[in-house]
């Protein structure tokens, strides 16, 4: 049971723009959530692929084949979540099998699996799969070109086969 004897007074946000009486924690949490959404939403736009804009006479260009549909939802005053779907009529998506490498979790030290590993692991795995009659391919995975992440090659991944996605 809490009768608030000896309790600290509730801290409120400064009145320069915030509503009087609102706790500072709520204002900070709201600003943090808004900043997080801005980072999340803008990160999806940074690495997007560019469609070909020029087509030959009489043929549609790649940008003519792509369509998009967007929706906006207001989740709090001043915070919008925008969702978009971009489709391309000329795309032919496929499924493939990715071979996972054994790894150790950095957080727990427990055994886990990774989609990307060292060149040595990828080459050895591909050689073993070829010996068993498969046709694997080794692909280099690069870090995204962000300013605050590692640069260069992240590692290698091994993939086998493909089939059309329905």
CA-based nearest residue to 96, from 142, 132, 138: 138
DSSP code string of the chain: ----TTPPPPPB--TTTSPTT-BHHHHHHHHHHHHHHHHHHHHHHHTPPPPP----TTS--HHHHEEEEEEEEEEETTEEEEEEEEEETT---EEEEEEPEEEE-TTT--EEEES-B-HHHHHHHHHHHHHTT--EEEEEEEPP--TTS--SEEEEEEEEEEEE--
pLDDT over 70 percentage in the chain: 61
Q: What are phi and psi of 80, to 5 degrees?
A: -115, 140
CA quadruple 57, 62, 65, 70: dihedral sign: negative
Strand partners, 159: 98, 137
Region 17-30: what's the mean pLDDT? 48
157 CB neighbour count, 10 Å cutoff? 20
Q: Report if pTM > 0.85.
A: no
pLDDT over threshold 80, residue 102? yes
Q: What pLDDT shows up at residue 98? A: 93
pLDDT over threshold 80, residue 127? yes
Residue 64 — very low, low, confident or very high, per pLDDT cuts 50/70/90? low
Identify the residue with better confidence: 9 or 51: 9
Cα gap 150→146, rounded to integer Å: 8
pLDDT over threshold 50, residue 40? no
Identify the residue with better confidence: 38 or 84: 84
Which of 3-7, 71-75, 127-131, 154-158 comes out lowest in average pLDDT?
3-7
pLDDT over threshold 60, residue 139? yes
Q: CB of 47 within 8 A of CB of 56?
A: no
Residue 129 — very low, low, confident or very high, per pLDDT cuts 50/70/90? very high
pLDDT over 90 percentage in the chain: 37
The model's pLDDT over 74-100, given as tens digits with 9 standing for 90+, comes to: 999 889 999 988 888 788 888 889 999
Q: What pLDDT shows up at residue 46? A: 38
The model's pLDDT over 148-159, given as tens digits with 9 standing for 90+, comes to: 888 899 999 999
């Amino acid at each position: 049971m809490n009768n608030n004897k000896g309790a600290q007074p509730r801290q409120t946000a400064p009145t320069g723009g915030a509503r009087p009486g609102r706790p500072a924690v709520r204002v900070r949490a709201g600003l943090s959530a808004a900043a997080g959404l801005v980072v999340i939403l803008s990160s999806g736009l940074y690495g997007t692929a560019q469609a070909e804009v020029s087509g030959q006479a009489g043929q549609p260009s790649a940008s003519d084949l792509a369509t998009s549909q967007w929706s906006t939802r207001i989740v709090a005053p001043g915070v919008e979540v925008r969702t978009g779907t971009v489709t391309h009529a000329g795309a032919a998506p496929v499924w493939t099998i990715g071979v996972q490498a054994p790894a150790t979790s950095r957080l727990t030290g427990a055994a886990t699996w990774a989609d990307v590993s060292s060149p040595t692991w990828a080459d050895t795995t591909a050689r073993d799969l070829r010996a068993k009659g498969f046709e694997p391919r080794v692909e280099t995975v690069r870090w995204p070109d962000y300013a605050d992440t590692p640069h260069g090659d992240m590692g290698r991944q091994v993939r086998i086969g493909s089939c059309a996605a329905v």
